[in-house]
Copies of this chain bind each other. A is one copy, B any other.
Amino acid sequence: MSTTRYGESLRERWDAGCYICVGLDSTITGVPQVLSYAAPAQRQLLFNKAIIDATFDEACAYKLNLGFYIEHEEGILALVETVKAIHHRAPGMLVILDGKFGDIGNTSASYARFAFDVVDADAVTVSPYVGYDGIAPFIERSDRGVFVLSRTSNPGAKEFQALETGSEGKVPLYSAVASAVANSWNSHGNCGLVVGATAIAELRAVRDVAPDLPILVPGVGAQGGDLVSSVQVGRDAHGGVIVNVSRAIIFASDGPDFDMAARQALGDMNRAVRDAI
C-alpha cells in the first residue's frame, strides 16, 4: 500500500479516526423520489454527487459496485463520472471498484485497463479462485490496490471458503487465500483482503495470518455485521481497516434531505467508533 497513489491519504484518514467506506450502492430503485425527474444514469450520478459532497470530509474511502452500474444503458458513464467527481472533490481519496474480477490472462488485462484507466479507480476487488496469474494484471499496476476476497459476508459463504485444506487438513480455504496474499501475492505492497463483518471470528483469524494487510470489511448494517466490532477486530497494528457501509448511510433518508441524512448517519457512526476504540 505504501507505493499506491492513495496510501498517504488513507493513512491520514485512519489517523483521524475515519474507518468507514461509503458504499455507493446507488440502485435506481433506491434513489429518492426527488431525483426521479432525471434519466436513470443521470439520477445515479446526481445522487452520488450529492452524497459525496455531504460525506467526503468524514469518509475513509468510497466503494462502487460494478453490478449496480452495469444494469442499464449509460450506467458505466455514471460510474466513470462518479469516480471523477470523487477525485475532484477529495484528491487522494481511495476509490474502490468492487467488481470481484476473476478471469485469466488477456481478459484480466482488459478488466484491469477498464478499472484503472477507463474508470480510474484506485483499487479493485478480485476473486482468488483462478489463482495468482489470473490476478497478476491487476497487481502489476503497483500504484493501484487489489483487495482479494478471503471470507465473503453472505450467509452461504462457508460452502467452499470454510473447507479445510492442506496436508494437516486444518487450514480453511479463506485462511489459505489470506496467507497466499500476505506471503506471496503482495510483492508490490499493494494487496489487501476482503473479510465480511458477518464473520468476526474469521476476521480475527485472518488478522492473525495477515497482520499488516489492509482489510476491506463489507456486511455492516443491512447484512447484520456490527460496525464497532469490525473496526476493533479488523484494525492492524497501524489501524488499517476499511469498513464499508452502504444502505445505512446513502439511504438514511428517502426524502429530499437524503444527503444531510447521509452526513448525519456517517458522523454518528464515526463517533460511535471513536468512542469505542
Binding site for B on A (CB under 8 A): 25, 27, 65, 67-68, 70-73, 76-77, 100-108, 110-111, 113-114, 118, 127-134, 149, 152-161, 163-167, 169, 173, 176-177, 180, 223
A104 and B68 contacting across the interface, CB-CB below 8 Å? no
Q: What residue in chain B is nearest A30 (Cβ atoms)? A: B106
Q: What residue in chain B is nearest A149 (Cβ atoms)? A: B129
Residue from B72, B131, B156 in contact with A160 in the complex, judged by beta carbons closer than 8 Å: B131
Which secondary structure characterizes the binding site on chain A?
mixed
Whole-angstrom distance between the Cβ of A185 and the nearest chain B Cβ: 10
A157 / chain B contacts, CB cutoff of 8 Å:
130-131
Q: How many copies does the complex hold?
A: 2
Residue from B27, B127, B130, B176 in contact with A110 in the complex, judged by beta carbons closer than 8 Å: B27
A71 and B154 contacting across the interface, CB-CB below 8 Å? no
A160 and B129 contacting across the interface, CB-CB below 8 Å? yes
A111 / chain B contacts, CB cutoff of 8 Å:
67, 70-71
B149 and A132 contacting across the interface, CB-CB below 8 Å? no
B65 and A103 contacting across the interface, CB-CB below 8 Å? yes
Inter-chain CA distance A153–B25, complex, in Å, is 33
A127 / chain B contacts, CB cutoff of 8 Å:
100, 102, 127, 129-130
B103 and A103 contacting across the interface, CB-CB below 8 Å? no
Q: What residue in chain B is nearest A155 (Cβ atoms)? A: B133
B160 and A176 contacting across the interface, CB-CB below 8 Å? yes
A132 and B156 contacting across the interface, CB-CB below 8 Å? yes
B160 and A173 contacting across the interface, CB-CB below 8 Å? yes
B129 and A128 contacting across the interface, CB-CB below 8 Å? yes
A101 / chain B contacts, CB cutoff of 8 Å:
100
A105 / chain B contacts, CB cutoff of 8 Å:
154, 223
A165 / chain B contacts, CB cutoff of 8 Å:
163-165, 173
B173 and A156 contacting across the interface, CB-CB below 8 Å? no
Inter-chain CA distance A25–B103, complex, in Å, is 13
Residue from B27, B118, B134, B152 in contact with A129 in the complex, judged by beta carbons closer than 8 Å: B152
A134 / chain B contacts, CB cutoff of 8 Å:
152, 154, 156
B129 and A161 contacting across the interface, CB-CB below 8 Å? yes
A118 / chain B contacts, CB cutoff of 8 Å:
71-73
B129 and A154 contacting across the interface, CB-CB below 8 Å? no
Whole-angstrom distance between the Cβ of A205 and the nearest chain B Cβ: 17
Q: A156-B131, A173-B173 are in contact. Are A76 and B67 (CB under 8 A)?
A: no
B173 and A104 contacting across the interface, CB-CB below 8 Å? no
Whole-angstrom distance between the Cβ of A163 and the nearest chain B Cβ: 4
Inter-chain CA distance A156–B130, complex, in Å, is 7
